[in-house]
Structure 1
Amino acid sequence: MAKKIQSRTAAPKRKSKKKVSLESRLFGESGAQGFASSFFSTFSLNRIQTVVGLLLLLFALLSTVSVLSFLPTGAQDQSLLLKLDSGVPLEGQEKFLNHFGALGARWANFIFNGMFGWGSMCMLVFLFWIGILMVRGERSGYIPALLRFVKYAFFMIWVSLAMAALQSLFSVDSHLEWGGAHGIRLYNYLMMQVKGWGLLLILLASLVIGLVLTNDRALDLVQHPRLPRQAHIPRLGLWGRIRGFGAGEVEAQEQEPSEEDLDEETNEGDALMAEDEPLEDEEPESEEEGELPTSESSQQPLSSTIHSIDGLIIEQAPEDDLVEVRHRNPGLAPGVMLEHYQIPSIELLKDYELNAPVQNMAEIERNKQRIIDTLASFKMRVTPSRITIGPAVTLYEVIPDQGIKVSRIKTMEEDIALSLKSEGIRIIAPMPGKGTIGIEVPNSTPQIVSMRSILASRRYNELRDSMELPIGMGKTITNEPFVFDLSRIPHLLIAGATGQGKSVGLNAIITSLLYSKRPEELKFVMVDPKMLEFSVYEELENHFLAKLPDVDKAIITDMTKVVPTLNSLCIEMDNRYHQLTQARVRGIKEYNQQVRNRENVAINGGQLMPYIVLVVDEFADLIMTSGKEVEQPITRLAQKARAAGIHMIIATQRPSTDVITGLIKANFPARIAFKVFSMIDSRTILDSPGANQLIGRGDMLFYQGKEMIRLQCAFLDTPESEAIVSHIQQQESTGSAYMLPEYIPEDEEGGAKTFNPSEKDPLFEEVARMVVNSQIGSTSNIQRKFNIGYNRAGRLMDQLEGSGVVGPQGGSKPREVLIKDMMSLERLFETLR
Structure 2
Amino acid sequence: MSVKLDLHPTTKKWIVGVFLVGVSMIMLLGFLNLAGPIGKMFTSESFQLLGWAAPVLPFIFLILGLIFFSSKERTIWASGILGSSFFILGLSAILDIVSQAGLKRGGAIGYWLAILPQKGFGAIASFIFFVSIVIVGLLLLFNYPASSEISDEDEDENGKQNSVVRWLKLVVFPLNRLKSMLFLISRPFLPKLSKPSLKSEPFISSSAPQFKVHKLEDEYDASSALKDKTNFDDEIKVRPAKLSVPYVMPPLNLLDEDRGKPTSGDIKANMHIIKRTLANFGIEVEMGEVAVGPTVTQYTLKPAEGVKLARITALSNDLSLALAAHPIRIEAPIPGRSLVGIEIPNHAVTLVRLRNLLENEQFQGSQYRLNFALGRDVAGNPVFSALEKMPHLLIAGATGTGKTIALNSLLISLLYRNPPSILRFLLVDPKRVEFPVYNGTPHLLTPVIVDVQKTINALRWAVKEMDRRFDILAGVKARDIGMYNRELKRGQEPMPYIVIIIDELADLMAARGKEVEAVIVRLAQMARAVGIHLVVATQRPSVEVITGLIKANITSRMAFQVASQIDSRTIVDNAGAEKLLGNGDMLFMSAESSKPRRLQGAYISEKEVKRVVEFLKRDFEPEYDSEILDPQKATSGDFNGGEDVFGDEDPLYEEAKRLVIQARKASASYLQRRLRIGYARAARLLDILEERRIIGPGEGAKPRDILIGSSDNLINDDQSDMEEDNE
**TM category, shorter:** 0.5 to 0.7
2:277 counterpart SS class = helix
* Matched-pair contact (CA < 8 Å) for 1:592–1:608: yes
Report the CA distance shift for 1:492/1:358 in structure 2 as closer, same or farther (over 3 A). closer
Cα offsets for 1:115-144 (capped at 9, x unmatched)? xxxxxxxxxxxxxxxxxxxxxxxxxxxxxx
Deviation at 1:767, TM superposition (A): 5.1
Q: Which residue of 2 aligns with 1:829?
A: 725
Q: Which residue of 2 aligns with 1:743?
A: 634
Q: Which residue of 1 aligns with 2:261?
A: 357
| 1:582 aligns to 2:475 (yes or no) | yes
Letter matched to residue 618 of structure 2: Q
Letter matched to residue 327 of structure 2: G
Deviation at 1:382, TM superposition (A): 1.5
Cα offsets for 1:454-494 (capped at 9, x unmatched)? 1122221121xx11201111112222221111111100011
Q: Which residue of 2 aligns with 1:634?
A: 520
Give the Cα–Cα distance (whole angstroms) in 2 for the partners of residues 458 and 426 of structure 1: 31
* Matched-pair contact (CA < 8 Å) for 2:460–2:635: no
Q: Which residue of 2 aligns with 1:813?
A: 692
* Matched-pair contact (CA < 8 Å) for 2:261–2:294: no
Q: Which residue of 1 aligns with 2:342?
A: 439
Deviation at 1:662, TM superposition (A): 1.2
2:424 counterpart SS class = strand
Give the Cα–Cα distance (whole angstroms) in 2 for the partners of residues 646 and 819 of structure 1: 52
* Matched-pair contact (CA < 8 Å) for 2:262–2:294: no
| 1:619 aligns to 2:505 (yes or no) | yes
Report the CA distance shift for 1:526/1:819 in structure 2 as closer, same or farther (over 3 A). farther
Q: Which residue of 1 aligns with 2:150?
A: 332
Give the Cα–Cα distance (whole angstroms) in 2 for the partners of residues 828 and 811 of structure 1: 25
Cα offsets for 1:631-682 (capped at 9, x unmatched)? 0010000000000111101111111112111111110111111111211111
Q: Which residue of 2 aligns with 1:69?
A: none
TM-score, length-normalised on structure 1?
0.52
Report the CA distance shift for 1:474/1:419 in structure 2 as closer, same or farther (over 3 A). same
Deviation at 1:736, TM superposition (A): 3.4
Q: Which residue of 1 aligns with 2:577?
A: 691
RMSD: 4.1
Which of 410, 421, 424 is the aligned partner of 1:520? 421
Deviation at 1:739, TM superposition (A): 5.1
Q: Which residue of 1 aligns with 2:677?
A: 789
| 1:342 aligns to 2:248 (yes or no) | yes
1:651 counterpart SS class = strand
Give the Cα–Cα distance (whole angstroms) in 1 for the partners of residues 296 and 639 of structure 2: 56
Give the Cα–Cα distance (whole angstroms) in 2 for the partners of residues 792 and 715 of structure 1: 45
| 1:677 aligns to 2:563 (yes or no) | yes
Report the CA distance shift for 1:568/1:748 in structure 2 as closer, same or farther (over 3 A). closer
Deviation at 1:721, TM superposition (A): 0.8
1:648 counterpart SS class = strand
Letter matched to residue 350 of structure 1: D
* Matched-pair contact (CA < 8 Å) for 2:463–2:636: no
* Matched-pair contact (CA < 8 Å) for 2:396–2:559: yes
| 1:370 aligns to 2:273 (yes or no) | yes
Matches within 5 A, 1:197-208: none
Deviation at 1:231, TM superposition (A): 10
Q: Which of structures 1 and 2 has the larger relative contact order (alpha carbons within 8 angstroms, sep 6+)?
A: 2
Letter matched to residue 462 of structure 1: G
Q: Which residue of 2 aligns with 1:487?
A: 388
| 1:416 aligns to 2:319 (yes or no) | yes
Gaps of 5+ in 2: 5-67, 75-141, 154-203, 205-241, 641-648, 695-707
1:544 counterpart SS class = coil
Which of 642, 662, 666 is the aligned partner of 2:552? 666
Letter matched to residue 448 of structure 2: I
Cα offsets for 1:226-276 (capped at 9, x unmatched)? x999699xxxxxxxxxxxxxxxxxxxxxxxxxxxxxxxxxxxxxxxxxxxx
Give the Cα–Cα distance (whole angstroms) in 2 for the partners of residues 613 and 372 of structure 1: 48
| 1:388 aligns to 2:294 (yes or no) | no
| 1:731 aligns to 2:610 (yes or no) | no
Give the Cα–Cα distance (whole angstroms) in 1 for the partners of residues 456 and 271 of structure 2: 54
Give the Cα–Cα distance (whole angstroms) in 1 for the partners of residues 466 and 581 of structure 2: 40
Structure of larger gyration radius: 1
Deviation at 1:155, TM superposition (A): 7.1
Q: Which residue of 1 aligns with 2:351?
A: 448
Give the Cα–Cα distance (whole angstroms) in 2 for the partners of residues 792 and 709 of structure 1: 37
Q: Which residue of 1 aligns with 2:435?
A: 534
Report the CA distance shift for 1:821/1:690 in structure 2 as closer, same or farther (over 3 A). closer
Deviation at 1:793, TM superposition (A): 8.7
Gaps of 5+ in 1: 1-153, 159-226, 233-324, 548-553, 750-758, 798-808
Matches within 5 A, 1:71-470: 330-334=148-152, 336=204, 338=243, 340-351=246-257, 353-354=258-259, 356-359=260-263, 363-463=266-366, 466-470=367-371
* Matched-pair contact (CA < 8 Å) for 1:327–1:342: no
Give the Cα–Cα distance (whole angstroms) in 1 for the partners of residues 344 and 657 of structure 2: 72
Matches within 5 A, 1:55-74: none
Q: Which residue of 2 aligns with 1:713?
A: 601
1:347 counterpart SS class = helix
Give the Cα–Cα distance (whole angstroms) in 2 for the partners of residues 155 and 734 of structure 1: 57
Aligned length, in residue pairs:
474
* Matched-pair contact (CA < 8 Å) for 1:328–1:342: no
Report the CA distance shift for 1:658/1:679 in structure 2 as closer, same or farther (over 3 A). same
Give the Cα–Cα distance (whole angstroms) in 1 for the partners of residues 656 and 283 of structure 2: 77
TM-score, length-normalised on structure 2?
0.59
2:342 counterpart SS class = strand
* Matched-pair contact (CA < 8 Å) for 1:495–1:685: yes
* Matched-pair contact (CA < 8 Å) for 1:489–1:669: yes
Letter matched to residue 630 of structure 1: V
Deviation at 1:359, TM superposition (A): 2.8
Deviation at 1:811, TM superposition (A): 9.0
Q: Which residue of 2 aligns with 1:594?
A: 487
Deviation at 1:744, TM superposition (A): 3.7
Q: Which residue of 1 aligns with 2:530?
A: 644
2:600 counterpart SS class = strand
Q: Which residue of 2 aligns with 1:564?
A: 457
Letter matched to residue 717 of structure 1: S
* Matched-pair contact (CA < 8 Å) for 2:521–2:549: yes
Give the Cα–Cα distance (whole angstroms) in 1 for the partners of residues 267 and 717 of structure 2: 85
Structure 1 residue runs of 4 or more that deviate by more than 6 Å after TM superposition: 227-232, 325-329, 745-749, 778-782, 790-794, 815-819
Give the Cα–Cα distance (whole angstroms) in 2 for the partners of residues 432 and 416 of structure 1: 22
* Matched-pair contact (CA < 8 Å) for 1:399–1:436: yes
Cα offsets for 1:311-350 (capped at 9, x unmatched)? xxxxxxxxxxxxxx99998323246154511111111111
Give the Cα–Cα distance (whole angstroms) in 2 for the partners of residues 792 and 668 of structure 1: 23
| 1:544 aligns to 2:443 (yes or no) | yes
Give the Cα–Cα distance (whole angstroms) in 2 for the partners of residues 714 and 620 of structure 1: 24
Give the Cα–Cα distance (whole angstroms) in 1 for the partners of residues 493 and 715 of structure 2: 53
* Matched-pair contact (CA < 8 Å) for 1:769–1:825: no
Deviation at 1:398, TM superposition (A): 1.2
Deviation at 1:709, TM superposition (A): 1.7
Letter matched to residue 725 of structure 1: V
Deviation at 1:783, TM superposition (A): 5.3
Cα offsets for 1:344-403 (capped at 9, x unmatched)? 11111112x23x03536x612222221112112222122222111111111111122233
Give the Cα–Cα distance (whole angstroms) in 2 for the partners of residues 810 and 559 of structure 1: 24
Cα offsets for 1:727-746 (capped at 9, x unmatched)? 11113346434853822487
Cα offsets for 1:734-776 (capped at 9, x unmatched)? 6434853822487999xxxxxxxxx997x99x959959x99x9
Give the Cα–Cα distance (whole angstroms) in 2 for the partners of residues 690 and 561 of structure 1: 37
2:567 counterpart SS class = helix
Report the CA distance shift for 1:788/1:453 in structure 2 as closer, same or farther (over 3 A). same
2:517 counterpart SS class = helix
Give the Cα–Cα distance (whole angstroms) in 2 for the partners of residues 823 and 345 of structure 1: 73
Letter matched to residue 545 of structure 1: L
| 1:473 aligns to 2:374 (yes or no) | yes
